Chain A
Amino acid sequence: MRRERRHVVATEKLGPYTMLHVDRGGLDPGVPGQFFMLEAPGRLLPRPMSLCLAPRGELAFLIDPIGPGTRALCRLERGDALTILGPLGNGFRLDVERPLLVGGGIGVAPLPYLAEALEHPRVVLGFRSDWHAQAAALLPRAEVCVEPRLVTELIEPGYDVLACGPEPMLEAVRGQAPAAQLAWEAPMACGFGACYGCAIEIEGVLKRLCVEGPVLCFS
């Protein structure tokens, strides 16, 4: 668990989202699906973000400005400093034979780095609007659908599914592919098992996402 003060080297808009590039320093990019705690300027608590891309010497995070912390992160400019802790949690297992990556909305975030590690598998993405779907540019070969069409309609049997997206999408994916590896999300204060805040309830069992997840597999 390493914590460093790093600097923004570039930002880029993708529809409503912002891609934040920071210099990597001594931070390890970790395994796809792992996450980092990013200091949100002016806020008390950092925000958990999975790594989107690991260009040489950089770490890149895709951020959806949905609250005060993520909006503060999206306002950062080149040269601004922020403290980053990570990599944290358990990422995706990469020992899969026929991978299919499934992303919904901001759940696309960990998939570009994952797609690199799996040498560009099949990817399906779903977004709520064409504007949000601009993030699909991160995965140029992906099949993309926009609501009312749902990404789960693009899942065919026979694949090892690795998915990230909103909870209803993950539950639907699990219905279709019970062995899927699913990356979950929850409000998180610390990211390293201290606060017990990120527990999510799955089949009546509470799991601390930061240390038992965020990628969980149920079979």
Chain B
Amino acid sequence: MRGRTGPLLLLNASGCLDALTAPEVAATLDGFVTKTVTPLPRDGNAPVRIAETDVGMLNSIGLANPGIDRFVTTHLPQLAKLELPIWVSVGGFAADEYAELCSRLDDHAEVAAIELNVSCPNVASPAESVAQIVASACLATRKPVWAKLSPAVPDVTDVARAAQEAGADGLSLVNTMRGLKLDDRTLRSALEPGAGGLSGPALRPIALAAVHACFLATGLPIVGMGGVQCGRDALDLIAAGARHVALGTVLFADPQAPMRIRAQLAGELAARGYADVDDAYAVTHRESLSTTTTK
């Protein structure tokens, strides 16, 4: 089977957990993904920054973070004490900024992987294409580089293939999509910046479709994320081709979700007669893959 890279990792989605304020939650994951780090410190967007909708949650935090200097000198040593694989999410406004961020992280043994946030819906997008950013980043580090993509494009597999050709080791699918909520009384945007990133159950079928399509298009290992609430949701992503699964909005409502979802996933696998996660990995594609092979 293509795309195997070790056992299933249950991670958090970037920006959905602070391992330093909630280390007991981080300890229940197989790795911790940081909030996106940018070259310079950012306060983030003006409040109000979050709103609940009937089907999900909108956020417009705006990449609030201490900047790479303080992250490396202060945050990273504290995160290292958690003794968890640390995935650092990085974001910039130009390809050379991503390269600089990756280069700064390259010598830190505690960094297990770098996730390129090329898809934040709440800040200006980098002008260069995803391919250029990935290529620059891969030249700047020996760490595994994962590209986190937006589903809000005509065909996410075009972007996924471009990231693969540029050297990405894996894909993180998917980031939030822009959505808007109006205040009941004023009919103005509920969030101060206007629109925000939609996460939660509304995103689940979109994430599943992206994982499914990008697995077929690239065979790259994928961290699947988007609206996972229970073990069945995690199983769906795995079956569609996710090697790893990340939890986002569910962590806000249920900090015990990693343990619960792990237990539910084991139950879902057993109920279907799968020996383990590998047995269910990309099972959605098995018939089409074997058909392809026999042609």
- Chain A partners chain B: yes
Question: Bound state CA distance, A196 and B48, in angstroms?
Answer: 11
Check if A192 sits within 8 Å of B21, measured CB to CB: yes
What residues of A have a CB within 8 angstroms of the CB of B22 in the complex? 1, 192-194
For the complex formed, measure the closest distance between the CB of B45 and the CB atoms of chain A, giving whole angstroms: 9
Check if A45 sits within 8 Å of B57, measured CB to CB: yes
Question: Bound state CA distance, A83 and B250, in angstroms?
Answer: 14
Q: Which of A126-134, A141-149, A170-178, A182-190 forms contacts with chain B?
A: A182-190
| A206 interface contact, C-beta 8 A | yes
Check if A197 sits within 8 Å of B52, measured CB to CB: no
What residues of B have a CB within 8 angstroms of the CB of A68 in the complex? 52, 54
Question: Bound state CA distance, A211 and B54, in angstroms?
Answer: 27
Q: Quick one: which of B21, B35, B59 contacts A197, CB cutoff 8 A? A: B59
Nearest residue in B to A197 (C-beta to C-beta)? B50
| B15 interface contact, C-beta 8 A | yes
Question: Bound state CA distance, A72 and B21, in angstroms?
Answer: 29
| A137 interface contact, C-beta 8 A | no
| A195 interface contact, C-beta 8 A | yes
Residues facing B in A6-48 (CB within 8 A) are 39, 43-46
| A169 interface contact, C-beta 8 A | no
| A168 interface contact, C-beta 8 A | no
Q: How many A-B residue pairs have CB under 8 A?
A: 95
Nearest residue in A to B43 (C-beta to C-beta)? A206
Q: Looking at A83, A186, A188, A197, which has the most chain B CB atoms within 10 Å of its CB? A: A197
Residues facing A in B232-270 (CB within 8 A) are 249, 251-256
Residue-wise interface mask of B (39-73) relative to A, using a CB-CB cutoff of 8 A (1 in contact, 0 not): 00001101111111010110101001000000000
Check if B251 sits within 8 Å of A197, measured CB to CB: no
What residues of A have a CB within 8 angstroms of the CB of B51 in the complex? 187
Check if A69 sits within 8 Å of B252, measured CB to CB: no
Residue-wise interface mask of A (115-141) relative to B, using a CB-CB cutoff of 8 A (1 in contact, 0 not): 000000000000000000000000000
Check if B52 sits within 8 Å of A69, measured CB to CB: yes
What residues of A have a CB within 8 angstroms of the CB of B21 in the complex? 192-194, 211
Check if B50 sits within 8 Å of A189, measured CB to CB: yes
Check if A190 sits within 8 Å of B252, measured CB to CB: yes
Check if B57 sits within 8 Å of A200, measured CB to CB: no
Check if B17 sits within 8 Å of A194, measured CB to CB: yes
What residues of A have a CB within 8 angstroms of the CB of B126 in the complex? none
Check if B47 sits within 8 Å of A45, measured CB to CB: no
| A157 interface contact, C-beta 8 A | no
Residue-wise interface mask of B (64-100) relative to A, using a CB-CB cutoff of 8 A (1 in contact, 0 not): 1000000000000000000000000000000000000
| B155 interface contact, C-beta 8 A | no
Q: Quick one: which of A1, A46, A193, A196 contacts B49, CB cutoff 8 A? A: A196
Nearest residue in A to B65 (C-beta to C-beta)? A196
| A201 interface contact, C-beta 8 A | yes
For the complex, would chain A's binding face be called helix, strand, loop or mixed by DSSP majority? Answer: loop
Quick one: given A3-B256, A189-B50, are A206 and B44 in contact (CB under 8 Å)? yes
| A67 interface contact, C-beta 8 A | yes
What residues of A have a CB within 8 angstroms of the CB of B46 in the complex? 201
Quick one: given A187-B51, A201-B46, are A195 and B16 in contact (CB under 8 Å)? yes
What residues of A have a CB within 8 angstroms of the CB of B170 in the complex? none
Question: Bound state CA distance, A216 and B163, in angstroms?
Answer: 46
What residues of B have a CB within 8 angstroms of the CB of A197 in the complex? 49-50, 59, 61
Check if A85 sits within 8 Å of B50, measured CB to CB: no
Nearest residue in A to B249 (C-beta to C-beta)? A44
Q: Quick one: which of A44, A85, A187, A192 contacts B48, CB cutoff 8 A? A: A187
Quick one: given A44-B52, A44-B200, A45-B57, are A196 and B47 in contact (CB under 8 Å)? no
Quick one: given A45-B57, A67-B184, A189-B57, are A195 and B24 in contact (CB under 8 Å)? no
| B219 interface contact, C-beta 8 A | no
Check if B44 sits within 8 Å of A194, measured CB to CB: no
What residues of A have a CB within 8 angstroms of the CB of B255 in the complex? 1, 3, 85, 190, 192, 194
What residues of B have a CB within 8 angstroms of the CB of A187 in the complex? 48-52
- Mind listing 17 A-B residue pairs with CB under 8 Å? A1-B22, A3-B256, A45-B52, A45-B249, A67-B184, A69-B52, A187-B51, A188-B50, A190-B252, A194-B22, A195-B252, A196-B35, A196-B64, A201-B46, A206-B43, A206-B44, A211-B21
Known: A189-B50, A194-B25. 13 other contacts (CB 8 A): A44-B253, A45-B57, A45-B249, A45-B252, A46-B252, A189-B57, A190-B253, A195-B15, A196-B15, A198-B49, A199-B49, A199-B61, A206-B64
